[in-house]
Amino acid sequence: MISGQTLASLLVAAIVRAGLYTLSATGLSLIFGVMNVPNFAHGELYMIGAYIAVFTFSGLNLPPLVAILFAAVGGFIIGAAIEKSIFYPLRKRSERRKLWIMNTFLVTVGLSLLLKNLIQVIAGTKYRGIDHYWQGGLDLAGLSISVDRVVGVGIAIIVVIAFWLFLQKTTVGKAIRATAQDEVGAKVVGINLDNIHTLTFALSAMLASIAGASLLSLNPAYPTMGLMPLFSSWFVVILVGLGNIAAVPVGALIISLIETFAAYGFGSGWQRLFSLALIILILLFKPRGLFGSDVKGIWER
Amino acid sequence: MIGPNGAGKTTFVNVITGLLSPNSGSVKLGEHEISGLQSFKIAKLGMGRTFQITRGFEQLTVTENLLVPALATKTTSRSEVEKKAEEIMDFLLIKHLAKELSVNLSGGQKKLLELGRVLMLDPSIIVLDEPFAGVHPELRGDLHDHIKELYRAGKSFLIISHDMDSIFKLSERVIVFDQGKKLIEGPPDEVREEEAVLEAYLGD
Amino acid sequence: MQYLEKIKESNYTNPGLAVLIALAFVPLFISDQYVLQLLISAMMFGTLAMAFDFTVGFINVVNFGFAAFWGIGGYTSALLAVNLGVSPWLGIFVGMAFSAFLGFLVGFLTLRLHGIFAAVMAWFTGLGLMSIVTNWTGLTRGPLGLMSPMFFATMDRGPYFYVILVMAAFSLLALLAIANSKIGLFFRAIGQDEDAAKASGVNPTWYRVLNFTVSTGIAGLIGGFYAHFMGILTPSVMQTSQTIEIMALAYVGGRGSIWGSLIAALIFIPVLTYLQPLMELRLIIYGLVLIGVMIFYPGGISALYRRVFQVSKSEG
Ligand SMILES: Nc1ncnc2c1ncn2[C@@H]1O[C@H](COP(=O)(O)OP(=O)(O)O)[C@@H](O)[C@H]1O
Ligand SMILES: [Mg+2]
């Protein structure tokens, strides 16, 4: 039997994990929905955030929140640059929309290689971590949790809600959603698709970058650190349905609960097999995901 | 078969050719019960179909396109199959395109090629989903001629179309379909009379 | 006309085979072990990329878990040798069969999926296999690495060179023979429009599963070679990054040509390994090449060849 104490700490661990999965998976789902790009380089955007944060926090000795802010802005700028230099020309050149999805997937595979190894050239393979952003721990139901974790989850929740409000309430956010639903229609009503695509990719990079920066004390920065968040983001997004942004937090919670409890029950290392098995079953029996989404037709090409 | 947009004509075709399985009811081809059979088996049993939006193997040549159905369903020798492909290209007047990749064909040529693939199955019944939509009037005449000639040669046809003229010109029996149901069935003349009554209702 | 006959003829005038025949003479003139090592590596990756192309270039499914099958073949043969004393010469075929069997199962899993869904399914089953190999340390020793007996007692690279040369030639001829038969035609039909293929009487289940079985079988065979050539195996051979390297070669070679992958490997692997001191640089080049090919020249090397030599698509 699991003791109450252990259960509580497992649940807290799962919630922390879920918050960060939500943050990184939201960006992945967003570029699925709007640009129809299945991004394999998403983990590298997370990695960029971690490097920017470690540089500003330990290198420049700036305060933690400033470091995370820098990561957000840096991620945004780098995301915009990537969109303009790679996806924009690709979009202009691909006459056959049919090939777009798999072609962009392969381009992002190349992009992932490129970013990972560029960082390695610049910063080497050394792990660059920090002990903590904020000292100390909090007492929660008799459980001591580091302030970093609490702030990390706090940031994730705030950013996701802010982003949600942005999509629902602002004109630009509405334009992004309109593009996701019907690109031709969006164009007809005068939305500049080029700008929307650049903005979407930049925002997605920003979200991933914030996730990487907030978690720095738990996961140090190193070139291939993006692999784990890449897997988990993909798990979440496939679980709830490609392009279904609204359901991402639920999916993140399901995956984190499975992984946390499987790691506890079967030893760490095996938890991956459990989430993989779940996703494989989903792909077999409900390829549109648990909550479905309308975009599957496009995705099959 | 005629009927307004969204009546369920294409869905009906997909059900009888095995692309969708029916929730209820059964489909028979001759004495064969074929409901729920996979579409490749139905094709082998002698029902060929075209698609409303022309489909095909874009990166294969016209000849290769034609070889696929014959090689997949027939046990005849390769040279016979190739001879047959030539005959069909002759018949459809696309012989000069034999080595062209089908992606490079015009819309009308693609329709002919699709019909050619169906013919390579040696089907007893041919289902055409909107064969005249978006086809140049001149080619439409050619298509009529092909269909009539094949009909004389003993093939049965089920033609789905919006084009009343073509339907009434070609058909022995006309079915009016709406909201997933058969409304009227009969010889063209009878249906044409009732058609006038239905016009207002169908709004087509 | 005679489309099928004509292609058959081209099996023997195929650029890939010509290059392999030329390579057979290399060890007679060059005894530099480093050069031989490079060429062995190139033929190994070239063969893997050909098998990858056999799936992506024909039935149009990206087997993103491909490297797992390579690893499974290697582990099977190595474990048989270590635990049961089975000769590597037999073990590699058992590894091939087991890998093909798993590929057969994954073929079923991906059956109803297309595009990114099929790729993700293959990716995740590959990761699952890797996860088992990594964590089942009692059997595989996990990341510590499994020592595997060598094919030959000698340190000379020459014998290994001929083993992989034979495997590459066998794979090239077998894959081309299938690709140019009516089976290959059905593969391409299914890859280009599955519904139209079904309406033409082609059974996609059978052909898709067959395709996966053959492709992963070859991956398993090459895995066996790798195990008894390197002498040590770690789960990292099954990583996604290995699949990516193989995939990059297949795309640069030109999808649907089979031989283009081999040529791409014979050009890229030696050049990039030469830059080995800068491992990152090698991968950066892979990344750039992959992006560049996808944006600017999706036809790859084989399309370039066809254009230069004016060979028609069905002949090249
Ligand atoms: N028998 C049916 N029951 C329920 N929905 C149907 C039925 N037949 C067709 N539909 C739906 O109606 C829509 C239009 O059908 P479709 O076959 O494309 O019409 P048509 O070819 O006559 O224009 C489709 O969304 C289809 O799913
Ligand atoms: Mg219709």
CB contact under 8 A, B57 and C197: yes
Q: At C1, is the pLDDT very low, low, confident or very high (cuts 50, 70, 90)?
A: very low
CB contact under 8 A, C283 and A113: yes
**How much distance in Å is there from the Cα of A95 to the middle of ligand 2?**
26
Selected residue of A117, A242, A275, A282 to mutate for chain C interface (largest C Cβ count, 10 A): A117
Please tell me which residue, C37 or A77, carries the higher pLDDT value.
A77
Put simply, the chain A residues between 145 and 174 with a CB less than 8 A from any chain C CB are none
Beta-bridged to residue B158, according to DSSP, are B127
**How much distance in Å is there from the Cα of B51 to the middle of ligand 2?**
9
Please tell me which residue, A49 or B92, carries the higher pLDDT value.
A49
Side-chain-side CA neighbours of C161 within 13 Å: the count stands at: 22
pLDDT exceeds 80 at position C177:
yes
Q: Ligand 1 pocket by C-beta < 6 Å: which residues?
A: B 3, 5-11, 180
Residue in this structure with the two tokens 């067959």, named with its chain if needed: C210
pLDDT exceeds 90 at position C100:
yes
CB contact under 8 A, C286 and A113: yes
pLDDT exceeds 50 at position A28:
yes
Confidence at residue B193, expressed as pLDDT on a 0 to 100 scale = 78
pLDDT exceeds 80 at position B103:
yes
- Cα(A45)–Cα(A297) distance, rounded to whole angstroms? 28
Pair B57, C200: CB distance under 8 Å: no
Structural domains in chain A, sorted by start: 4-285 (1.10.3470)
CA distances from C88 to A200, C75, C171 (A): 53, 11, 19
How does pLDDT run across A201-213, given as a tens digit for each residue?
Answer: 999 999 999 999 9
Put simply, the chain B residues between 14 and 43 with a CB less than 8 A from any chain C CB are 17-19, 38-40, 43
Give the residue-averaged pLDDT of A121-141: 81
Confidence at residue C278, expressed as pLDDT on a 0 to 100 scale = 63
pLDDT exceeds 60 at position A296:
no
Number of H helices, E strands in chain B: 8, 7
Written as six digits, the tokens of B52 are 């409303």
Taking contacts as CB-CB distances below 8 angstroms, the residues of chain B near C200 are: 40, 43, 68-69, 72-73, 117, 120-121
Select the residue of C112, C125, C287 nearest A110 (Cβ to Cβ). Answer: C287
Give the residue-averaged pLDDT of A147-154: 85
Task: Parse chain C into domains and list their residue ranges.
Answer: 2-239
Pair C81, A266: CB distance under 8 Å: no
Q: What is the ipTM of this complex?
A: 0.88
Taking contacts as CB-CB distances below 8 angstroms, the residues of chain B near C201 are: 40, 43-44, 69, 72-73, 121
Taking contacts as CB-CB distances below 8 angstroms, the residues of chain C near B51 are: 195-196, 199
pLDDT exceeds 60 at position B3:
yes
Confidence at residue A298, expressed as pLDDT on a 0 to 100 scale = 45
Select the residue of C2, C200, C313 nearest B72 (Cβ to Cβ). Answer: C200
Select the residue of C182, C195, C312 nearest B99 (Cβ to Cβ). Answer: C312
Q: At C150, is the pLDDT very low, low, confident or very high (cuts 50, 70, 90)?
A: confident
Counting ligands in written order, the one closest to the CA of B129 is 2
Which atom, in ligand 1's list, is nearest to the CA of B3?
Answer: 22
Beta strands in chain A (DSSP E): 137-140, 143-146
- Separation of CA C233 from chain center: 18
- Cα(B101)–Cα(B97) distance, rounded to whole angstroms? 8
Mean pLDDT of chain C, nearest integer: 87
- Cα(A247)–Cα(A234) distance, rounded to whole angstroms? 13
Q: Which residue of C has its CA nearest to B16?
A: C199
Q: At C312, is the pLDDT very low, low, confident or very high (cuts 50, 70, 90)?
A: low
**How much distance in Å is there from the Cα of B178 to the middle of ligand 1?**
10
Mean pLDDT of chain A, nearest integer: 86
Q: At C13, is the pLDDT very low, low, confident or very high (cuts 50, 70, 90)?
A: low
Confidence at residue C2, expressed as pLDDT on a 0 to 100 scale = 38
3-state secondary structure of B101: strand
Confidence at residue C310, expressed as pLDDT on a 0 to 100 scale = 61
How does pLDDT run across C41-57, given as a tens digit for each residue?
Answer: 999 999 999 999 999 99
Confidence at residue C15, expressed as pLDDT on a 0 to 100 scale = 85
CB contact under 8 A, B57 and C193: yes
Counting ligands in written order, the one closest to the CA of B5 is 1
- Cα(A211)–Cα(A27) distance, rounded to whole angstroms? 10
Please tell me which residue, B194 or B8, carries the higher pLDDT value.
B8
- The residue whose CB lies within 8 Å of the most ligand 1 atoms, and thus the one to mutate among B1, B2, B9, B11, is B11
Confidence at residue B197, expressed as pLDDT on a 0 to 100 scale = 61
Confidence at residue B200, expressed as pLDDT on a 0 to 100 scale = 54
CB contact under 8 A, C117 and A93: no
pLDDT exceeds 80 at position C236:
yes
Confidence at residue C315, expressed as pLDDT on a 0 to 100 scale = 43
Taking contacts as CB-CB distances below 8 angstroms, the residues of chain C near A241 are: none
Q: Which residue stretches of A83-170 are H helix?
A: 88-93, 100-123, 147-169
CA distance C16 to chain A (A): 25
Confidence at residue C8, expressed as pLDDT on a 0 to 100 scale = 43
Confidence at residue A56, expressed as pLDDT on a 0 to 100 scale = 93
Give the residue-averaged pLDDT of A268-287: 86
Taking contacts as CB-CB distances below 8 angstroms, the residues of chain A near C299 are: none
CA distances from A144 to A12, A137, A139, A257 (A): 10, 6, 5, 20
SS3 content of chain B, % helix, strand, coil (to 5): 50, 15, 35
How does pLDDT run across B32-43, given as a tens digit for each residue?
Answer: 888 888 899 999
At A112, the amino acid letter reads S
Confidence at residue C186, expressed as pLDDT on a 0 to 100 scale = 95
Taking contacts as CB-CB distances below 8 angstroms, the residues of chain C near A277 are: 128
Among A195-199, C40-44, C151-155, the least confident range: C151-155
Taking contacts as CB-CB distances below 8 angstroms, the residues of chain C near B43 are: 198-201
Any chains having at least 3 CB pairs less than 8 A from chain A are: C
Written as six digits, the tokens of B87 are 């005959």
Select the residue of A115, A120, A287 nearest C117 (Cβ to Cβ). Answer: A287
Give the residue-averaged pLDDT of C174-203: 93
Among residues of chain A, what percentage have pLDDT more than 70?
93
φ/ψ region of A142 (left if φ > 0, alpha if ψ in -120 to 50, else beta) reads left
Confidence at residue C10, expressed as pLDDT on a 0 to 100 scale = 52
Which atom, in ligand 1's list, is nearest to the CA of B9?
Answer: 22
- Cα(B69)–Cα(C208) distance, rounded to whole angstroms? 17
Confidence at residue A177, expressed as pLDDT on a 0 to 100 scale = 86
pLDDT exceeds 50 at position A127:
yes
Give the residue-averaged pLDDT of A151-166: 89
Please tell me which residue, A9 or B128, carries the higher pLDDT value.
B128
How does pLDDT run across B159-178, given as a tens digit for each residue?
Answer: 998 778 888 888 889 888 88
**How much distance in Å is there from the Cα of B5 to the middle of ligand 2?**
7
CA distance B78 to chain C (A): 9
How does pLDDT run across B27-69, given as a tens digit for each residue?
Answer: 888 888 888 888 999 999 889 999 988 899 988 999 999 999 9
Any chains having at least 3 CB pairs less than 8 A from chain B are: C
* Interface check A103 vs C, CB under 8 A: yes
Pair C221, C93: CB distance under 8 Å: yes
Select the residue of C109, C119, C244 nearest A113 (Cβ to Cβ). Answer: C244
Among A34-38, B95-99, C56-60, C298-302, the least confident range: C298-302
Confidence at residue C5, expressed as pLDDT on a 0 to 100 scale = 40
Q: Are strands B181-186 and B174-178 parallel, antiparallel or unpaired?
A: antiparallel
Among B11-15, B64-68, B149-153, C11-15, the least confident range: C11-15
Which atom, in ligand 1's list, is nearest to the CA of B52?
Answer: 21
Confidence at residue B142, expressed as pLDDT on a 0 to 100 scale = 84
CB contact under 8 A, C197 and B73: no
* b/e burial code for range C249-261 (CB count within 10 A of at least 16 → b): bbbbbbbbbbbbb
